[in-house]
Amino acid sequence: MHLRFSVQHYLSLSIVFAIGVAAASSGFGQAAPAAHGGDEIAARIPARMQSFVDAKTVAGVVTLVAHGDRVVEFNAAGMADIDANRAMTKDTIFQIMSMTKPVTAIGIMMLAEEGKLALRDPVENYLPEFKGQRVAANNGPDNARLSVPEHAITIRDLMTHTCRWMW
């Protein structure tokens, strides 16, 4: 069976998963509705995930959303193994790839929320090895040359991939 993957859907599903992982790592109790209408939003997640399965964007998905110490939504939809006709369950074990960026971004945003760093902070404040970094020049035939950046590389630059590093 051929599945179509769009970047938008993949990122949406990855972010939902990453939020669940971050929330789950802090410990949680039994399912309970979130305050301020969060339960209404969470109630729509299973149908939305099922729509991705029905459209064959993904074969199966497990979602978990927690708020504080409460599980707001936890559901499984689709197939864990299409060939074996095995349904996805809440405890299905499966390989997840390319989660480094969303998990790191969530960690950075949690630290920013706690006031432990700011997105505008130069990276060299936390990693001295970044002091004196050079970046790709902006235009034309010089774009392969390295130059001194206009400002110190910030956490925001790294998160938005705008630091002009040559990869």
Return the active site residues: 98
* DSSP output for 72-133: EEEEEEEEEETTTTEE--TT------S-HHHHHHHHHHHHHHTTS--TTSBGGGT-GGGTT-
Cβ atoms 124, 131 nearer than 8 A: yes
All residues at 6 or more sequence positions from 77 whose CB lies less than 8 Å from its CB, including other chains: 46, 49, 50, 53, 60, 61, 88
- Spatial distance between the Cα atoms of 43 and 26, rounded to a whole number of angstroms: 22
Which amino acid is residue 70, in one-letter code? R
Q: Rounded to whole angstroms, how far apart are CA atoms 45 and 47?
A: 6
Beta bridge partners of 74: 64
